[in-house]
Amino acid sequence: MEYGIEDLICGDLKEFSLATENGSRKGKMGRKRNYDDDTREYKSKNLETERRRREKLSTRLLMLRSLVPIITNMNKATIIDDATTYIKELKGEVQSLSQELHQMEATIDETTVTKIDEVEVAEDMNKWVVQTELRVALIGANKLWVKIIIENKRGRFKKLMEGMNLFGFELTDTNLIATKGALLIEGCMQGMDGERLEVHQIKKLLQDIISDI
């Protein structure tokens, strides 16, 4: 070994510290003179304080370490590094999650609003002028799909049914909504005796029935 006197000094300091650690000399023997009376070694005033500080710090570091899931290294620096990356990760996760949640809430609110609008429209239907709508489409050899929206007046549905029956048609797979304001009929139409149906012909017929009532 080629260390100088400083090495000895440091060695002495080291031995001193170990001695204080192992011997656990913690008696306060005249604070003014920070010497061990037996060995004449110097004792710093904030030695134990500093020890506690270091211990506390390493404890906190271990607590932080226990929270971080991914471990790259047991180094102090990498512990902090992993913690920072983990915090960033969590931040991003929180952001994306809240964004997703808000988006979902927004869509739900949107649909709710739409429904509410529809309800309000339905409730105020009698104040409206109902736009008459008549659609007929061929969906089979002798099968038609029809959709009828007309203003609902007293006995109008009955008359419509009677008119259709008069011409020998029957509605199947029907959806019907009748409110005070409007009447919606949607379903499939079939000739009762299997005769062929023509779209424009049926449409004209339905128009006649509607305008008649």
- Supply 182's token pair: 């409007």
> Is 64 an interacting residue with respect to DNA (CB under 7 A)?
no
**51 lies in the binding site for its own copies (CB under 8 A):** no
Provide the token pair at 57: 């710090």
Report in angstroms how near the CB of residue 67 gets to DNA at its nearest: 17
Site for its own copies in 176-205 (CB under 8 A): 176-180, 187
Strands 133-140 and 169-178: unpaired
Interface characters, 94-113, with its own copies (x: CB under 8 A):
x--xx-xx--xx--x-----
Q: Which residue has the tokens 């419509």?
A: 160
- 10 Å Cβ neighbour count for 135? 12
- In whole angstroms, how far apart are CA 36 and each of 22, 29, 51? 14, 8, 18
Per DSSP, 177 falls in state E
Site for its own copies, residues 119 to 178, rule: CB under 8 A = 154-155, 157-158, 161, 165, 170-178
Query: 67-95: buried (b, 16+ CB within 10 Å) or exposed (e) per residue?
Result: ebeeeeeeeeeebeebeeeeeeeeeeeee
* Distance in Å, CB of 89 to DNA, minimum: 22
Between CA 83 and CA 54 the distance in angstroms is: 20
- In angstroms and rounded to an integer, the radius of gyration of the C-alpha atoms of the chain is 45
Site string for DNA, 32-61 (x = CB under 7 A): ----------xxxxxx-xxx-xxx-xx---
Binding site for DNA (CB under 7 A): 3, 6-7, 10-11, 13-14, 16-18, 20-21, 31, 42-47, 49-51, 53-55, 57-58, 74-77
Binding site for its own copies (CB under 8 A): 2-4, 6-7, 9, 13, 32-35, 40-42, 53, 56-57, 60-61, 63-64, 67-68, 76-77, 80-81, 83-84, 86-88, 90-91, 93-94, 97-98, 100-101, 104-105, 108, 154-155, 157-158, 161, 165, 170-180, 187
